[in-house]
Copies of this chain bind each other. A is one copy, B any other.
Amino acid sequence: MADRLTMRLQCPVPKMDFEVIQLGHGSGGLMTHRLLKSGVFEVLQNEFLKEEHDGAVLQLNGKTAITTDSFVVSPLFFPGGNIGDLAINGTVNDLAMCGAKPAYLTLACILEEGFPLADYWEILLTIREAGKAAGIKIVSGDTKVVEKGKGDGIFINTTGVGTVHPRADIRASRIQPGDVVLVSGPVASHGMAIMSVREGLEFETTLQSDSAPVHDIVWDLLENYGSAIRFLRDPTRGGIASSLNEAASQRKLGIRLQQTEIPMLEEVEGACELLGMDPLYVANEGIFLAIVAPDIAQQAVERMHQFPRGAQAAIIGQVVTEHPGQVVLDSSIGGKRVVAMLAGEQLPRIC
């Protein structure tokens, strides 16, 4: 905990006459005002927040994507990130999956009474850094406080808007037989990083969450291949298995995956084996799946390789007319198995 703070906190926690969040910080009165003034506004400052209004007024033109996500990850801090960057990257990536350039985010926090101010501050600073890295602005927000035992530290909602690429036309209904399935990077890193903390393995492994924005890679693909990019999805909860099952079932076509082609970090593979997890179902927070026209698939992967976070991008499968609605895996040992949709809960509160 000490290490984490020393490493990440760039500016000191503001001097306030409290060390933990109190119910009064959600009152809408003086305490809320002081928390926001000396905390949120100070850290996230921009021309929109300066107005201190209940909302922000933006100039938006044309096709605009909007997406919302609440984050309830547990633990709040994990190798490779915390709930703050997860909340930014998650929404940035959802916008990217709509073919949009992320522009503005709102930020709503539900704090639990007694939550340490130092943790709150660190999360805010992480949000600021993640926001800068993704090129977005936090334009409006909300802060609520619930009694101790009625929440779990902090829950964060981010909602984002961004302008859709003029040539983007991303819909499951556009997927065609013969289309190719790409993944932008190694799978299962986020879920296994969270698991490593829960199972007390974090000091034995180098597992790290892949939490990162992917909008720049997506935008580059759209610039170069436009509507040949048929479908995009970031495989968070439920992993790549769930996202591809959704695509197959919506479009009533089959998807055939090659297990040997699916990139995965060695330590992630090891942790999956150790803990008996199927990596296809494990959550990701910094990769995306693309289903693209066959004639541009190879070039697209090569373009993705130019980006640090796309260095391991790969073709992992194909859309087929057989087994409609199902995802089938050619396993590394030569067999075949149906990859069903995740039935129950594999890892609660992974994001």
Interface residues of A (CB under 8 A from B): 22-24, 26-33, 51-72, 74, 94-95, 97-98, 100, 104, 106-110, 139-142, 144-147, 149-152, 155, 157, 159, 161, 164, 170-172, 233-234, 236-238, 242, 246, 250, 281, 283, 340-346, 348-349
Contact = CB atoms under 8 A, between A and B. Distances in A.
A67 to B, nearest CB: 3
B31 A236 contact: no
Contacts of A155: 110, 146, 155
A52 B246 contact: yes
Given A108-B70, A155-B155, A343-B30, A54 B140 contact: no
A67 B54 contact: yes
A66 B206 CA distance: 41
Contact of A68 (B65, B157, B170, B238): B157
B66 A29 contact: no
Chain A at the B interface: SS class? mixed
A24 B344 contact: yes
Most B-side CB within 10 Å, residue of A140, A157, A283: A157
B98 A28 contact: no
A246 B63 CA distance: 36
Nearest to A342: B29
Going nearest first, the 8 A-B pairs with the smallest beta carbon separation are A28-B237, A29-B342, A55-B67, A28-B238, A68-B106, A159-B159, A157-B157, A24-B345
A150 B349 CA distance: 11
A64 B68 contact: no
Given A108-B69, A141-B68, A161 B161 contact: yes
A140 B94 CA distance: 11
Contact of A152 (B31, B109, B150, B237): B150
B67 A237 contact: no
Contacts of A142: 68-70, 157
26 contacts: A28-B242, A28-B283, A29-B342, A29-B345, A30-B340, A30-B343, A32-B238, A51-B172, A53-B97, A53-B170, A54-B67, A54-B97, A54-B233, A54-B234, A57-B98, A68-B108, A68-B140, A68-B142, A69-B142, A70-B109, A70-B110, A74-B150, A108-B159, A146-B348, A146-B349, A147-B349
Contact of A66 (B100, B139, B147, B281): B139
Contacts of A107: 68
A26 to B, nearest CB: 7
A236 B64 CA distance: 30
B348 A70 contact: no
Contacts of A141: 68
A55 B97 CA distance: 8
Nearest to A170: B53
A58 B149 CA distance: 39
A278 to B, nearest CB: 12
A100 B56 CA distance: 10
